[in-house]
Structure 1
Amino acid sequence: MATTVTSKGQVTIPKPVREHLGIVPGSKVEFRCAADGSIVIEKADTREPSRFAKLVGIVGPGLSTEEIMAITRGD
């Protein structure tokens, strides 16, 4: 299936592809490069991440075990 790119860089996703992926007006799609160099289009996962998932990785490495033990012992 071929489609034409507009001057704004837009393309129309063919109806059979939209139906197969469940894409409806307002849906979000993701494009990614596959290992073989091809481009894959997928319906984006729009579920809201949990409140805990949003916090992953924002605190930093934290204290080492030795540092925690020193604080605990009052060193």
Structure 2
Amino acid sequence: MATTVTAKGQVTIPKRVRDFLGIVPGSQVDFHRAADGSVILMRADRKRPASRFEKLRGHAGKGLGTDAIMALTRGET
């Protein structure tokens, strides 16, 4: 994934990288130089982004109680 540096030295982080790292507007990032000379981009808060499964986890909210479900099943509504 290549990107272009602007005259101000700014770059746009590709969407796939932002999504992978969980970077959103206002996020802070760190750049680290590795021993081999490469540069590593990391979130400054070191939080791990939510996995695709964690994003789906949750509660559907308050639903029907057992009595209401049984009434629907019996056609009593």
Superposition TM-score, scaled by structure 1 size: 0.59
Q: Does residue 17 of structure 1 match 2:17?
A: yes
- Highest RCO, 1 vs 2 (Cα 8 Å, sep ≥ 6): 2
Counterpart amino acid of residue 7 in structure 1: A
CA offsets 1:9-49 (integer angstroms, 9 cap, x no match): 000000000000000000000001001110000011179xx
Q: 5+ unaligned residues in a row in structure 1: which ranges? A: 48-75
Q: 5+ unaligned residues in a row in structure 2: which ranges? A: 48-77
Identity of paired residues, percent? 68
Counterpart amino acid of residue 10 in structure 2: Q
- Is contact 1:28-1:46 (8 Å) kept? no
Aligned residues: 47
Counterpart amino acid of residue 21 in structure 1: L
Query: In structure 2, what is the equivalent of residue 5 of structure 1?
Result: 5
Relative distance call for 1:4 and 1:35 in structure 2 (3 A) is same
Q: Does residue 35 of structure 1 match 2:38?
A: no
Counterpart amino acid of residue 21 in structure 2: L
Runs ≥4 in structure 1, deviation > 3 angstroms? Answer: none
Relative distance call for 1:19 and 1:35 in structure 2 (3 A) is same
